[in-house]
Structure 1
Amino acid sequence: MDKVERYRQVFLSFKELCSTGRQPSSFSAYCKANSVDQCQMRQTLKNEFQNIKTLPGYRSISHICSVIYEDFKQKCADGRQPGTFADFYRSHGITWEQMHGYLKRNKLKVVGLPGYVMLTGGSRSRCQEIPFEDVIFEEAGFLPADTCSTITVKVDGHVAVSFPADTDVAVIAKFVRKMEKEVGHVGS
């Protein structure tokens, strides 16, 4: 197969994929995957080549990225996160540079999407924020009772930690000593 025929085949197959709504990725990525130089396409095919943007069904990379982002966002919100975002957009033929550019231009982030879970080490690890008070109560060997009286300790004037009234004074004193080392002012 000569060069012209190879370029023609790649161009026509991309055109066919666009017209049937199955565009795999950008034209440049498609050319690279098929071992042809996109920059030489116009020169090689001459009159047979038409502007990619005028192909029926052609979608720009920006449009493809927005569809991928919205699909991932919806799957996360539904609790069906399909793995990492990078794996998800790569499976659609989008490179990191293309997606990063799209996210940056549109000031979008993946972290913080409703239902999004940061995946590490190949397994799902759901992180959960634990209130500081629960850690203290757990170390002291009891959980707070909402209905009883409490002893409140203010840390640096910003945070108030409440202990149940029946808490051993030694536990509260230990907490105060520990906090005085880390912050400026502890009062009760």
Structure 2
Amino acid sequence: MIWLITNNSFIAIIESIMKENTQGTLEQLYLNARSFYSLLIIKGVAVSILSIIESMVTLSLCLLFVPNVKFSMMLQWIYVLPLLFIAIFSLIGIGITCASFALKYKNISNFYSMVSSILFGILTYGAIFLNKKLILTILFPFAKANATIQLFLRGKAPISVNAYIIIIINDLLMMALGYVVLKYYLKESKMSGSLSKF
């Protein structure tokens, strides 16, 4: 369920820019939006909320039909959702960063598929390892959140205030990175005319 939510949040941003770019409506969207960056954040948050709802429905169905799934699992999942939602912003930020490359490079789908596979492979299997190094949890998107959730669900560690602080720092860093890269590539695209060539 963590993979579903995080992967959807990351990919939704990239696919929205690529789709608009391919259809030739990216310039109109850019010109008519009050803030193109804010629009992408809203898209990412909307997809994240829908994915969270999907995860709750899935877990509810498991409670009804799978004997090994206990109600306590639902309570644990509800308990980690605020942390998960706060941490989603780091993935939205890195999604905006990767999506910004689509403004200049048209054949970017293989690149972001590769980034997505590497990112979520590390997040899935290496979160606990990354959690041992403070600098890695700050620099790597969603690493601290994933490790904290995994350790909590395994009953090995509670969710601490320190974890929230690191996650918020990571969010701010990734969102700032997304903003800077998007602004740079929008400027480059306008200068080269690639934003309006459609």
TM-score, L = length of structure 1: 0.23
**Between Structure 1 and Structure 2, which shows a larger proportion of helix residues?**
2
More strand by share: 1
Higher RCO (CA-CA < 8 Å; seq separation 6+): 2
